[in-house]
């Protein structure tokens, strides 16, 4: 900016008899003035190419699994997620819906986000330590490990009965012109919408392979097998909130909103605290 203002002042006080130099195109690579912008542009292009190359590399790895009819490896899924999160603007929040699905994915995700790895701690607890005497006190007691800090602020579980879950997944329809979703039992479409008689728009059944009855049953079974260990894992960090999803949608929405507001307020207070002490300590 200082350079630009000085250039303007020079033009105002220029000698009227002195010929004015022709204006140059800053996009011309031969012009000296355009070099900083060219370097900046090249730097931006190199960063973009690097990001594209990383994403392309991860995409090729995932495609190898899919071509073989195999699920994408957990560690690769975490790499893809972390790369997507890394590309978000600074101080931008994010939400993962339906992930992680297994204890292994949850631990790998936590390690990638915060660096916390419970593997070494579990190995020690399962056999690394010698048995302590029940009679004599340990002269050199080992300090307890501090409580871990998670890279995830909030974990919300929508708890719902399996039978009700299956009912909600079936019988859904959609009116494209009105952009309205309906459900045969819980939110029936208007009368005549099945055939589109008169001015009533015809609704069409929602085609969603993820909510196919067989797919839903498989996902429910997998979740029930995995959840006890996942619940224990998330409880370590104190970030788990279980919400009764059998309630009305408005009630569920308000409950989630209150909980998220509290979590964001707590996170903001912690950030302010660390920013204040950052003047005196280097983290």
pLDDT band at 268 (very low <50, low <70, confident <90, very high): confident
pLDDT mean over 159-170: 89
User: In the chain, pLDDT over 90 holds for what percent of residues?
Assistant: 25
Q: What local confidence, expressed as pLDDT, does residue 191 receive? A: 78
Q: Where are the domains of the chain?
A: 39-88, 103-116+150-161+209-283, 172-205
pLDDT band at 271 (very low <50, low <70, confident <90, very high): low
Strand pairing of 172-175 and 204-205? antiparallel
Q: What local confidence, expressed as pLDDT, does residue 137 receive? A: 60
Question: By C-alpha distance, which of 182, 113, 105 is closest to 150?
Answer: 113
> What's the CA gap between 66 and 72, in Å, rounded?
7
C-beta of residue 201 within 8 angstroms of C-beta of residue 178: yes
Strand pairing of 155-159 and 240-244? parallel
Higher pLDDT: 25 or 146? It is 146
Q: Which residues of 173-202 are buried (b: 16+ CB within 10 A; e: fewer)?
A: bebeeeeeebbeeeeebeeebeeeeeeebe
Check pLDDT > 50 for residue 32.
no
Pure H helices in the chain: 2-12, 35-67, 74-86, 103-114, 119-123, 162-169, 213-235, 249-277
Check pLDDT > 80 for residue 247.
yes
């Amino acid at each position: 900016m200082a350079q630009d203002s000085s250039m303007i002042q020079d033009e105002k006080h220029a000698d009227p008899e002195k010929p004015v130099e022709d204006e140059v195109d800053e996009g011309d690579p031969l012009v000296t003035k355009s070099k900083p912008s060219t370097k900046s542009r090249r730097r931006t292009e190199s960063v973009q190419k690097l990001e594209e190359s990383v994403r392309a590399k991860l995409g090729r790895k995932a495609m190898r699994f899919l071509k073989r009819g195999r699920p994408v490896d957990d560690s690769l899924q975490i790499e893809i997620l972390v790369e997507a999160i890394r590309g978000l603007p600074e101080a931008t929040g994010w939400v993962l819906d339906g992930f992680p699905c297994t204890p292994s994915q949850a631990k790998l995700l936590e390690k990638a986000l915060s660096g916390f790895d419970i593997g070494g701690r579990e190995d020690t607890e399962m056999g690394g330590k010698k048995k302590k005497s029940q009679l004599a006190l340990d002269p050199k007691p080992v300090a307890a490990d501090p409580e871990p800090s998670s890279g995830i602020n909030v974990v919300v579980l929508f708890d719902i009965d399996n039978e009700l879950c299956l009912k909600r997944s079936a019988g859904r329809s959609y009116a494209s012109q009105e952009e309205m979703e309906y459900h045969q039992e819980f939110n029936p479409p208007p009368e005549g919408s099945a055939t589109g008689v008169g001015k009533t728009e015809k609704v069409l059944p929602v085609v969603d392979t993820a909510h196919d009855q067989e797919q839903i049953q498989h996902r429910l079974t997998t979740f029930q097998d995995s959840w006890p260990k996942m619940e224990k894992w998330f409880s370590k960090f104190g970030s788990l909130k279980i919400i009764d999803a059998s309630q009305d949608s408005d009630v569920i929405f308000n409950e989630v909103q209150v909980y998220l507001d509290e979590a964001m307020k707590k996170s903001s207070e912690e950030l302010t605290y660390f920013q204040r002490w950052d003047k005196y300590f280097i983290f």
